[in-house]
A and B are shown apart, each in its own frame.
Chain A
């Protein structure tokens, strides 16, 4: 009987060791990256990773010598606009599929589903020609307009809207709300969680775009952060690792902080779900 107790304790200790070891491995690239961002490039180049010459010089250099702030601003603006546009247009089309009755509804919905099977990566040639013809190259618009809506977002919101109690619609009909009022006042607020999820998803999706901006933007005025980082990395012939790591840290730290804060909400949501 005592052995059961001892075994349980041993198992716990083993579990914690495993948990910590895995955390260290997963976080190592962060730690190494962020640690080296405080070191002079000379020390990094010499392999002197335990140097004590810690400073914020790399950060100062990143901010002053590179257009990283401009890249950040570009990305922020583009991602925010894309997010808002997707929230509006996806929710509108999702609303139409769930609450409106019209000819070809099924056909059009199937079209949307088909869209989800077609990878954007496979369509870059004609799309490039299109935006070039529209004169949008090297402009915020070229990174926003193709992504104003998304079939995935529409599909996801449709699933969520379908869970809206039918009584809400009936009550609104009795009250005399028109479709726009019902959509705006009731459906959107009832499905807040899905809207927030889609918002986060589309923002991150836009933030992580790489191939399309690489093709369509070529000046610092419209270059986004992902491609900007590559630019910095390839421009530095002598590989100024300290500064490159600092730039990476500047980009990743805000997202991590947001994630930490979000985790709190996420966790409480999880707990609610897990209560027995």
Chain B
């Protein structure tokens, strides 16, 4: 579905021209419009717009433990957040995680897609196998990997024992816990990224490669000078999707590390959740939520801008 939206965007101007020709203003349209749009507007208004404003509102107040706003403080909550090393470290951790997840997912997805796009017998099997993680939900992925990371009975621990290597404490060391979360996230995203990139690679006209073959370009040269530029719109698209998804990560964190050890994986959404529903600090949580929103909105806008342009070349 995501592919559709990268490729099938009709420039706004064209639609307008089409509609000017095609549709006459019709009194009945108004009636149908409210009928067709009403339910969606109601739901979005109640569960997206209202809560957004409400969150913004709360973020400028102090709140009691029941979530009631008490004193208006303007931007003070934000100022406090920005000067709190705890929050800054959370932001930092989130950025590290997002960057690592995006770079690894895209690189691996590209490698897999490029390999599986070869015209060799049996490629269909590999395509299926590589896309398998698409069918894995958060909790299942967490359980599979928790077992692998488990320091006493886990697969990695056993492997280290057999190889006479020191057992790595995946979930108790801050750096390793971060890696554990990153690995699991990348693994989960890989199937989807692979499929989207494979589709993009397969839609590159084969004559381009043939022309390059005749001209004497090595396959390495072809990959960097034909494949990459030709699929760059899709690459950009999956990158933003991955970035946005990574910023919103919650399930895996809660299941694997619970933000620990010592806040090493306490990312934005997890912090929002804990500040509100553990500590009852609704104002602080709301301010954090607004910061998250700004970040997500930025990347979504980037994607929209790009969809409008449709192609990069």
Contact = CB atoms under 8 A, between A and B. Distances in A.
Nearest to A269: B199
B15 A270 contact: no
B247 to A, nearest CB: 8
Contact of A149 (B40, B52, B133, B255): B40
A141 to B, nearest CB: 13
B130 A225 contact: no
A179 B28 contact: yes
A33 interface: yes
Nearest to B46: A130
B25 interface: yes
Interface stretch (B87-95, B115-123, B171-179, B225-233): B115-123
B80 interface: no
B251 A125 contact: no
Given A92-B39, A122-B55, A125-B282, A241 B1 contact: no
Contacts of B135: 252, 255-256, 258-259
Given A124-B276, A179-B28, A194-B4, A27 B132 contact: yes
A55 interface: no
A92 B5 contact: no
Most chain A Cβ neighbours within 10 Å, of B8, B15, B51, B133: B51
Contacts of A208: 137-138, 251
Contacts of B254: 210-211, 214, 230
Contact of B126 (A12, A23, A215): A23
Contacts of B292: 119, 121-122
B133 A22 contact: no
A29 interface: yes
Category for how many chain A residues contact B: 35 or more
B4 A160 contact: yes
Contacts, number: 294
B116 A19 contact: yes
Nearest to A166: B22
Contacts of B116: 19
A255 B296 contact: no
B143 A210 contact: no
Contacts of A56: none
The majority secondary structure among interface residues of chain A is: helix
Contacts of B195: 266
A156 interface: yes
Interface in A80-106: 89-90, 92-93, 95-96, 99-103, 105
Given A26-B190, A263-B131, A18 B115 contact: yes
Nearest to B251: A210
A126 B55 contact: yes
Interface in B42-91: 43-44, 46-52, 54-55, 58, 67
Nearest to A202: B1
B306 interface: no
Given A118-B293, A130-B46, A252-B136, A26 B129 contact: yes
Contact of B293 (A105, A113, A122, A155): A122
A27 B129 contact: yes
B1 A113 contact: no
A266 B246 CA distance: 27
B129 A23 contact: yes
A103 B48 contact: no
A93 B41 CA distance: 9
Contact of A125 (B36, B142, B187, B286): B286
B131 A145 contact: no
Contacts of B112: 22
Contacts of B199: 270
A230 B276 CA distance: 21
A122 B36 contact: no
Contacts of B304: 113
Interface in A219-263: 225-230, 233, 239, 241, 244-245, 247-248, 251-252, 255-256, 258-260, 263
8 contacts: A15-B120, A93-B37, A115-B48, A122-B289, A255-B136, A255-B137, A266-B195, A273-B202
Interface of A: 12, 15-16, 18-19, 22-23, 26-27, 29-30, 32-33, 36, 44-47, 49, 89-90, 92-93, 95-96, 99-103, 105, 108, 111-113, 115-127, 129-130, 145-146, 148-149, 151, 154-156, 159-160, 162-163, 166, 169-170, 178-180, 183, 194, 197-198, 200-201, 207-208, 210-211, 214-215, 225-230, 233, 239, 241, 244-245, 247-248, 251-252, 255-256, 258-260, 263, 266-267, 270, 273-274, 276
Given A93-B41, A125-B55, A270-B202, 5 more contacts: A101-B26, A126-B55, A129-B67, A251-B140, A256-B132
